[in-house]
Amino acid sequence: MFIKESCIVEIYTKNTESFSVGRVFGQDEDSVIFENIDVQGKITGYYVMKKNIISQLHYHTEYLGKIRKYMEYGKEHPYSNWFSLKPVALNRGGSLILQVLEYAKDNHIVITLETDQADEPEAGYLKEMIRDTIIFSCLDVSTAQLSEEITISVQDIVFIEFESIDNLLLQYANTALTIH
């Protein structure tokens, strides 16, 4: 599956009642990285997902027309400048999921990930990568405190959100609460 680049798109996964909006940042044969676009047309993070969990893509909808107008407005008004995405360099030749995991570990950032086996996503820090397995230190999103460590097979990961405003705020709270 090839996904059109440089345009915004509605992305539907297994849950076809809801969707996200994004713009392709990069893709390989198995995965795609999107810039996440929120309901106000602001780019609020990145996420990588396996292409096999995408059930539908829509490029021309009335909703996307509205979001494009919001994005135009945001470029002309300073409210959109309070948060900007950190540039992320990726190697076009390697696995995007592995590269994002390495980036998260090297930069010690909070990520949110989903596996094809879990019902709920987990937010936290990638503590260690051992071959095709990661040790993940989970954060309780309601308290920003570390809760448990889990072991996850890399091949089971279908979605990773990174450098998002939600994850940056959670990391800030976790760090600030840990210091005191």
CA contacts within 13 A on the Cβ side of 71: 18
What is the CB neighbour count within 10 angstroms for residue 68? 14
Q: Are 162 and 45 in contact (CB under 8 A)?
A: yes
Under 8 Å CB-to-CB from 124, ≥6 apart: which residues? 110, 111, 136, 137, 138, 139, 146
The pTM of this model reads 0.91
> Which tens digits make up the pLDDT trace of 87-111?
787 777 789 999 999 999 999 999 9
Say how far apart CA 53 and CA 116 lie, in whole Å: 9
Q: Residue 51: which of 132, 155, 160, 158 has the closest Cα?
A: 158
Residue 34 confidence (pLDDT): 95
> Which tens digits make up the pLDDT trace of 107-128?
999 999 999 988 889 999 999 9
Residue 51 confidence (pLDDT): 95
> Which tens digits make up the pLDDT trace of 139-158?
999 999 999 999 999 999 99
Q: What share of the chain is helix, strand, coil (3-state, %, to 5)?
A: 30, 40, 35
Where along the chain do its domains lie?
Answer: 8-179
pLDDT at 10 over 90: yes
* CATH class, range 8-179: mainly beta
Say how far apart CA 103 and CA 88 lie, in whole Å: 9
